[in-house]
Structures are given as C-alpha cells and as structure tokens.
Amino acid sequence: MRNLLLLEWRKLKLPVLITLIGLSLTVSVLTGTLYKSYALEHDLEAWEVGISFIVFLFPLISVLPVGWLMYFERKDQFLMYTLPRVKKSRYLLSKWIVVAGSSFLIMFVAMLIGVITALYIKPDIVPVYSLVNPDTGEVIPRLESEHFLGSMFVHQPLTYGVLLSLWQGFLSAIIATLGFILSLFISNIFIILTGPFLYVTMENFALSLLHLEVYRIYVSFNPEFYDADKHGYWPLLMGPLLALLFTAFIAFYCGKIKKITVYPS
C-alpha cells in the first residue's frame, strides 16, 4: 500500500503543490490587506474577512487540483494496465486516500497560514467596539458573547484557528471524495470538476429556501456567528453528512442501478 500511495502522490504532486502555494499566498495577502477597510475588534477577524471569497469557492478548490486524475486514467484505459499488478479495490482505495488527503492538506495549510498572518505577521489592529451597553450607554466588546466559540476566539485565537483549519481541511476532503466518486462513473471532465460546487450551491439554495440555513455546509465551513447556544453543535455536522449521503447515493445509483463500470470492459 505504501508504494501505491507514493505512486499516486507523484501523479498529483505538482498540481497539489502549485495549488497549495498559490492558495496560501492568496489567503495570506487577503488576510493582510482586506481588513483595513473594516472596523474590527480582534486580529483573527482579519482572517475571517480575508477568506470570505475563499469560503464561497472552497468546493472548487477542493476538487480542481485532484479530481482530474481518474478521468484521464479511465479515458486512456490506463486502468487496464494496473490489473495484473494490483487488485482493483486496493488501487482505487490508494487513489482515494491520496485525493482526499491532498485536498485536506491544501485547505488546512492555506487556512493555517492565514491564521498565522492575522495573528503574527500583519500589524495589530486598533480595536473598534460597536456593541452598546444598554445600562451605561458605553461601547463594549461583542465578540466573546456573539462569535462562535467566542471565549476561545478571543483568548486562545491560535487554538481556534488551528482547530477550524483542521475542520475546513476535513470538509475539503469530503468534497474531494464526491469529486472522486464522480470521476469513477462520469465521462465528462466538466461535470467531475464542477459537480461538487454545483451540489454545494444547490444545497445552499434549498436549505435557505426551507429556512434551514444552519444546516448548510458553508455554515459548517465558516461558523463565525453561528449561535451554538441556540442551535447546539450537531447542525454543523449536517452539511458534511448530507454531502456524504449524496456521495453514497451517486456511487449506488451509478454502480448498482445504472451498472456503470469503473474499469473499461
């Protein structure tokens, strides 16, 4: 298995490293510049401001560097040459591990660099308080009471940033898994690379229409002002769970109902 994993990593190494470096630089630059137009209370808020556009695009970022490989191996019938050397299940498992792991790595490292930029590289912000105490009429900090995990965000920002970056990497791996499953059965590279983004967009629209916004995967990816005291923590798991269920449905429908074969017959 180790040799298989190394083989698959070599195939994806260049686009993964290019994306990782490019995304890390983008997040760092956005974190270090966009915050200047905002009135903020805490340095880590600069990271949240900087990644707002990245959050919207994360389903594409998760798939584009890694989702193309299986398509070309099926198209060129390269898979047939692997049959004498390795079992189908073992080969596909190793490929999925590298695809999901690479997507996790890209998102985790890029987001963590943004956190480090916000806390230790950019100049310290001048706090601007906007919440008014109704009893005294004075402006007071709002983040600790209104932000998701506010106490950790304010007093342990690095811990908060590392944990959220890990979670965002995990969600990226889930979306990459959807792209990988599509690449096993679909012969259209455009659908493979954009399908996960279209799924997340439709999920976002449908849940918003049903007034179930707290269950969206976008909220899970960037909880920011998610009210855990009101909704609890389990709704943050619903978006990833729905994505996994949709992925399982695609695999079942294409493999068992439509009888689409992964390996050329």
pLDDT for 143: 81
Q: How far is CA 39 from CA 2, 54, 226, in A?
A: 50, 21, 20
Q: What are phi and psi of 140, to 5 degrees?
A: -135, 160
Give the model's pLDDT for residue 80.
76
Give the pLDDT of residue 139: 60
Q: Of 156, 180, 168, which Cα lies nearest the Cα of 70?
A: 180
What is the reported pLDDT for 134? Answer: 65
- First-to-last C-alpha distance (Å) of the chain: 25
- pLDDT attached to residue 127: 79
Q: Which of 222, 216, 218 shows the shortest CA–CA distance to 242?
A: 216
Report the DSSP beta bridge partners of residue 140: 131
Beta carbons of 23 and 54 less than 8 angstroms apart: yes
**Backbone phi and psi for residue 139, each to the nearest 5 degrees, phi listed first:** -80, 140
Token pair for residue 95?
A: 């490929």
Provide DSSP, 8-73: HHHHHHHHHHHHHHHHHHHHHHHHHHGGGGS--SSTTHHHHHHTHHHHHHHHHHHHTTTTTHHHHH
**Could you read off the pLDDT tens digit of each residue along the chain, which spans 265 residues?**
777 888 889 999 999 999 999 999 999 999 999 988 888 889 999 999 999 999 999 999 999 999 999 999 888 887 777 767 788 888 899 999 999 999 999 999 999 999 999 999 999 888 777 766 666 656 656 787 888 998 899 999 999 999 999 999 999 999 999 999 999 999 999 999 999 999 999 999 999 999 999 999 999 999 988 998 889 999 999 999 999 999 999 999 998 898 888 886 6
Beta-sheet strands, E only, within 50-169: 131-132, 139-140
